[in-house]
Structure 1
Amino acid sequence: MENFYWFIVMCILLIILPGPDTAITTRNTVTAGTAGGFKTMFGTCCALFIHTSAAVFGLSAIIVKSALLFSIFKYVGAVYLVYLGFKTLWGLRNKQVAAAAETSVKGKYENQSCFKQGFLTNLLNPKVAVFFLTFLPQFVNPGKDSFLPFLIMGITYTVLTAMWFVFYIYLLNQISAFMKKPRTQAIFEGITGTVLIGFGIKLALEKAHN
């Protein structure tokens, strides 16, 4: 493995850039609290472990080199992101002030789906598979076995992602009084829903890599 420290620096820069994972984590933290944010984060990290395993065992190469498989992953991921976006916007339309007991039940229901949302948002994004296959090899010695280096770098990326989201979720929680105002939540959910739809459309319009 070469330039591991540069790999860490690049990972940090890439992780903090806003993307679908950040959008869904923000939405779930604002609407379901830190519990929702952490469940979303765990879902994202579980999906990253799957991407790491796929890269290590060569499945990512198959996906990237196959236009059909890439397209399947791309469109399924795009549809799911657009679905989450419309679901968020639709929730704004039907939002009403609930009683404390009703809010508690709703909060529990939302927390149960946060893990799945974080997991599927990351897993169904083929750009993550492309990232692992095109970015990781730059830090591996050519001509040598890449199994262990890929595994180490994949785990490192996942750990750094978890660390960033822990900080990010706690940051959102620190300003929770502001974030939990109905008007603030409506604005953030509206922005998040729009962003998710935008990411989904952008993903769907991207050309497959041959």
Structure 2
Amino acid sequence: MVSTGAVIGVAGVALGMVLTPGPNMVHLVSRSVAQGRRAGLIALAGVAAGFGVYLVAAVAGIAAVFAVVPALYAAVKFAGAAYLLWLAWRVVRPGAAPMLGGAVARGEAVRAEGAGRLFSGGLVTNLLNPKIAVLYVSLLPQFVDPARGGAAAQSLVLGLVQIAVAVSVNALFVVSAGSIAGFVGRRPVWARVQRYLTGTVLAAVAVRVAVDRSGPVAAAA
């Protein structure tokens, strides 16, 4: 089965990505600020469903395509690494907006929505989130070890780890969106630490992905 190192690695990637401002964070925080925690949690359920869709696709054998077309696998891998580096730069670049404060500010004036639209909004936002596509298509396979058994089973476990981390952290954003944004906004040092820690994690993962010489693992399933 999966190694402890793989679990820790995926958890670290998931944490770094969920802490980076993106469609999911902005959507969830804006819902919570505009309509309250209940609305934010309903939207989070939609986001979680989106993670599930990606996980099912990964377990079903997305990586099998890369085993047949190695050049496509390499292209996606380097695209994923480049995207992570871009995210890291966007977080730490001079003049970058506060991560949580900026998300809240962008969600202050948002029209109220019903439960169905809240859920579907979270689902669609996540399905169209390029960070998640990169994670499941390009990054997750890097942590699968053919020597430890079927790739599908390992992908399932690692995907569940990612979902657990992402949903847990996003839930914290939802229930404490306003107070966290105010805390970070009043403490510039904390804001800088948050930004540089997140940027470092993303950059480290990008380098790991780029230099990894292993091929697609679907054939080991």
State the one-letter code of the partner of 2:172: F
Give the alignment partner of residue 161 of structure 1, picking from 166, 172, 184. 166
SS in 2 for 1:117: helix
Counting only pairs closer than 5 Å after superposition, residues 1-40 of structure 1 correspond to structure 2 as 1-2=2-3, 3=5, 4-40=7-43
TM superposition shift of 1:42: 0.6
**Cα distance, 1:7 vs structure 2:** 2.4
Task: Tell me, yes or no, if structure 1 residue 54 matches structure 2 residue 28.
Answer: no
SS at match of 1:161: helix
Residue 41 of structure 1 corresponds to which residue in structure 2? 44
Per the normalisation by structure 1, the TM-score is 0.57
Q: Conserved in 1, the CA contact under 8 Å of 2:31 and 2:43?
A: yes
Deviation of 1:19 after TM superposition, in Å, equals: 0.8
Structure 2 residue aligned with 1:121? 125
1:71-90 matches, within 5 Å, as none
Task: Provide the secondary structure at the position in 1 that maps to 2:146.
Answer: coil
**In the aligned structure 1, how far is the partner of 2:57 from the partner of 2:130?**
12
Contact 2:50 2:127 in 1 (8 A): yes
Kindly provide the CA deviation profile for residues 66-92 of structure 1, in whole angstroms up to 9, marking residues without a partner as x. Answer: 8xxx9xxxxxxxxxxxxxxxxxx9x96
Structure 1: distance between partners of 2:34 and 2:114: 8
The answer as to 2:172 corresponding to 1:172 is no
SS at match of 2:150: coil
Give the conservation status (yes or no) of the 8 Å contact 1:48–1:122. Answer: yes
Residues 125, 165 of structure 1: alpha-carbon distance in 2 compared, 3 angstrom cutoff: closer
Paired residues of 1:32 and 1:110 also in contact (CA < 8 A): no
Instruction: Give unpaired runs (5+ residues) of structure 2.
Output: 77-105, 183-221
Separation in 1 of the partners of 2:119 and 2:129? Answer: 16
Per-residue displacement from partner, 1:29-73 (whole Å, max 9, x unpaired)?
Answer: 11111111101111000010110000010246659x78xxx9xxx
- RMSD (Å), alpha carbons: 3.1
Aligned partner of 1:142 in structure 2 is 146
Give the whole-Å Cα distance in 1 for the aligned partners of 2:130 and 2:180: 33
Change (3 A) 1:54 1:175: closer
Structure 1 segments (4+ residues) deviating >3 Å: 59-63, 109-112, 173-176
TM-score, normalising length from structure 2?
0.55
Give me the whole-angstrom Cα distance separating, in 2, the residues matched to 1:125 and 1:11: 14
Query: Unaligned regions of 5+ residues in structure 1, if any?
Result: 71-88, 96-105, 179-210
Paired residue total = 141
Against the structure 1 CA distance between its residues 142 and 58, is the aligned structure 2 distance closer, same or farther, given a 3 Å change threshold?
same
Amino-acid identity (%) = 23
